[in-house]
């Protein structure tokens, strides 16, 4: 007997509940692995993850799932818009994941668990040869993956689409060309003529215990509800969100550089805010959560740079810093702090790069990934190619692989094609700011210390929508215009020309 639509949606709900339960457990396990799990636990966790991967693969691609989704697809007009979108997203996943052979899928999850542990150690010891064989396997898998997913596309295009639906090398090339053309001359000008501010933190220690208190203040300042968001400490800061009721961010404290953790917390806090504000009606659906990496990064980079490095935010931050670090901050003025937070100077580490030179870090990773995927660059030659590009774009020599090719966790995590979303996100953020300014005095709101109007604007236009629409649709609805990277370059040129009196 044929099932009713109500029965089918009931089955869908229990399938989604199972999928989300496994995802939840895997997310928590990942966070645990990165924070407090002892190093020797990696192997056992690998076994657990292999079992989990098999189950989630089965849930996504099993015969029952296929039948259920097919039946629901025949009745889309009877479904409410949220369920309709869920069915279409799950069907997309079903078709996609089915193309990946299960043994390969499971083996890859196990490989990534191992690679992550090896990378952590290799980074600490600046030991590229230890990580190289894992990178070989990760690149090889991603090339195969691209072939399974979209044999008609160039491999790197297939991967870009995984992180930002619709993104291609053609679009990236055009975008980076605008950045290169408009920003590289400005960076040169600053290097030649711009007077760099004095380093106000030189020779001072900022105890980690006090920096932890600063993190609490920052999270409150940007409006994070700690009831649903925790903070941990890891080598590489990240955000994990299982649902709007369980979001975790991490940071890394450096005793001699309080700004590093400060801006990491505000960056990850931006990711967290997005996850925390998904509409209640999407909770328990597969649409609960940020829609894409590009849109996610647009939120994190918006908070880190546009809010966090603004005059108003710095003005409110200064009294807090003076209270937590009275001796270290003695004699530091608001102008000193503002300039320290906005120094534009080529540097080696992407996550600590300033707002202006940041996109060059992304561009070099994009170009290397492109070459790795088209086969014109061998993994063994990656460190040398990395160092050459750092020299070309940033004018710097890379002293060791820890500050070079081993610095990011993306590749060890299996993510090839992720990086462009950072630059794209930064550019989305600048265009959203321009739109926001049409209806709000953003500077005055930030200076008031109460970000509610900004949070409300972003909740309504982006956060609450979760994954209800494609990323490009969500962006264009929010910005009320197609994407235009010149908002970003204009914003940077305006800001840095004033800072460096150019």
Active site residues: 268
CB of 131 to Zn ion, least distance (A): 22
Q: How far is the CB of 297 from Zn ion (least distance, A)?
A: 5
Enumerate the β-bridge partners of residue 233. 251
Tokens of 272: 């967290």
Region at 166 (left for phi over 0; alpha for psi -120 to 50; beta for the rest) = left
Residue number, 292 or 300, with CB nearest to Zn ion: 300
User: Residue 180 phi/psi, 5° resolution?
Assistant: -60, -45
* Rounded least distance, CB 387 to Zn ion, Å: 25
CA distance 420 to 478: 21
- Nearest-approach distance from CB 340 to Zn ion, in angstroms: 22
Q: Which two tokens stand for residue 489?
A: 């370059």
Residue 68 or residue 353: which is nearer to Zn ion going by CB?
353
Nearer to Zn ion, 300 or 409 (CB): 300
Computed on alpha carbons and rounded to an integer, the radius of gyration of the chain in Å comes to 23
**Distance between CA atoms of 455 and 440, rounded to whole angstroms?**
12
**Exposed e or buried b for every residue in 150-177, given b needs 16+ CB within 10 A?**
beebbbbbbbbbbbbeebbbebbeebbe
Closest approach of Zn ion to the CB of residue 230, in Å? 17
What is the torsional sign of CA 164, 19, 277, 241? negative
Closest CA to 249 of 268, 223, 227, 226: 268
* Position of minimal CB gap to Zn ion: 300
Pick 300 or 426: Cβ nearer Zn ion: 300
What does the alpha-carbon distance between residue 290 and residue 310 come to, in Å, rounded to a whole number? Answer: 25
Is the CB of 68 or the CB of 432 nearer to Zn ion? 432
The residue behind tokens 């639906």 is: 165
Residue placing its CB nearer to Zn ion in the complex, 149 or 249 = 249
CA angle 375, 93, 118 (to 5 degrees): 50
List contacts with Zn ion (CB under 5 A): 300
Minimum distance of Zn ion from residue 249's CB (angstroms)? 10
- The residues near 106 (Cβ < 8 Å, ≥ 6 apart) are 50, 53, 54, 57
Residue whose CB is less far from Zn ion, 86 or 304: 304
Q: Specify the residue, 84 or 350, whose C-beta has the smaller distance to Zn ion.
A: 350
Nearer to Zn ion, 97 or 300 (CB): 300
To the nearest whole angstrom, how small is the minimum distance from the Cβ of residue 300 to Zn ion?
A: 4
Which DSSP state fits 246?
Answer: E
Closest CA to 242 of 229, 258, 261: 229
Closest separation between CB of residue 278 and Zn ion, Å? 17
CB of 290 to Zn ion, least distance (A): 10
Q: Which residues contact 102 (CB under 8 A, 6 or more apart)?
A: 54, 57, 61
- The 10 Å Cβ neighbour count of residue 126 is 14
User: Quick one: tokens of 151?
Assistant: 């044999």
Q: Token pair for residue 350?
A: 């992407």
311 is written with which tokens?
A: 């005059």
Phi and psi of 225, rounded to 5°?
A: -85, 110
State the Cα–Cα distance between residues 414 and 111, nearest whole angstrom. Answer: 9
Q: Two tokens at 129? A: 């040869």
Helix (H, G, I), strand (E, B) or coil at 344: coil
CA-closest candidate to residue 53, choices 37, 36, 30, 70: 30
Q: Supply the minimum distance, in Å, between the C-beta of residue 267 and Zn ion.
A: 6
What beta strand segments (E) does 343-476 contain?
Answer: none
Among the listed residues 250, 273, 316, 298, the one whose alpha carbon sits nearest the alpha carbon of residue 452: 273
């Amino acid at each position: 007997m044929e099932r009713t639509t109500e029965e089918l949606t009931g089955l869908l709900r229990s399938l989604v509940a199972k999928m989300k339960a496994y995802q939840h457990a895997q997310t928590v396990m990942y966070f645990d692995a990165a924070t407090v799990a002892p190093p020797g636990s990696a192997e056992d966790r690998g076994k657990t993850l292999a079992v989990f991967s098999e189950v989630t693969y089965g849930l996504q691609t099993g015969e029952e799932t296929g039948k259920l989704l097919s039946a629901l697809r025949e009745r889309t007009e009877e479904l409410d818009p949220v369920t309709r979108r869920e069915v279409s997203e799950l069907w997309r996943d079903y078709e996609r994941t089915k193309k990946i052979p299960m043994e390969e899928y499971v083996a890859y999850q196990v490989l990534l668990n191992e690679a992550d542990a090896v990378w952590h150690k290799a980074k600490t010891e600046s030991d590229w040869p230890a990580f190289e064989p894992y990178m070989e396997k990760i690149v090889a898998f991603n090339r195969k993956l691209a072939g399974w997913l979209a044999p008609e596309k160039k491999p790197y295009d297939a991967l870009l689409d995984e992180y930002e639906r619709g993104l291609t090398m053609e679009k990236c090339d055009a975008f980076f060309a605008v950045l290169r053309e408009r920003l590289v001359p400005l960076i040169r000008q600053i290097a030649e003529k711009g007077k760099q501010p004095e380093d106000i933190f030189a020779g001072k220690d900022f105890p980690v215990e006090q920096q932890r208190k600063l993190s609490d203040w920052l999270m409150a300042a940007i409006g994070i509800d700690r009831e649903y968001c925790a903070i941990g400490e890891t080598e590489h800061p990240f955000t994990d969100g299982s649902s709007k009721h369980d979001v975790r961010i991490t940071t890394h404290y450096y005793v001699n550089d309080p700004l590093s953790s400060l801006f990491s917390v505000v960056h990850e806090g931006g990711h967290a805010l997005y996850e925390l504000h998904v509409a209640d009606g999407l909770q328990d659906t597969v649409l609960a959560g940020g829609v894409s990496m590009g849109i996610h990064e647009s939120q994190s980079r918006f908070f880190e740079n546009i809010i966090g490095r603004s005059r108003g935010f710095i003005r409110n931050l200064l009294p807090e810093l003076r209270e937590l670090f009275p001796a270290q901050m003695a004699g530091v003025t608001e102008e000193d702090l503002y300039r320290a937070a906005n120094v534009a100077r080529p540097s080696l580490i992407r996550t600590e790069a300033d707002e202006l030179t940041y996109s060059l870090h992304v561009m070099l990773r994009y170009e290397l990934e492109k070459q790795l995927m088209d086969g014109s660059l061998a993994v063994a030659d990656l460190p040398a190619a990395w160092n050459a590009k750092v020299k070309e774009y940033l004018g710097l020599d890379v002293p060791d692989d820890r500050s070079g090719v081993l610095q990011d966790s993306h590749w060890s995590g299996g993510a090839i094609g992720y990086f462009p979303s950072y630059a794209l996100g930064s550019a989305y953020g600048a265009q959203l700011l321009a739109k926001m300014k049409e209806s709000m005095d953003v500077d005055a709101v930030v200076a008031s210390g109460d970000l509610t109007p900004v949070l409300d604007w972003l909740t309504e236009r982006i956060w609450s929508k979760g994954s209800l629409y494609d990323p490009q649709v969500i962006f264009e609805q929010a910005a009320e215009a197609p994407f235009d990277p010149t908002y970003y370059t204009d914003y940077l040129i305006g800001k840095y020309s004033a800072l460096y009196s150019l």
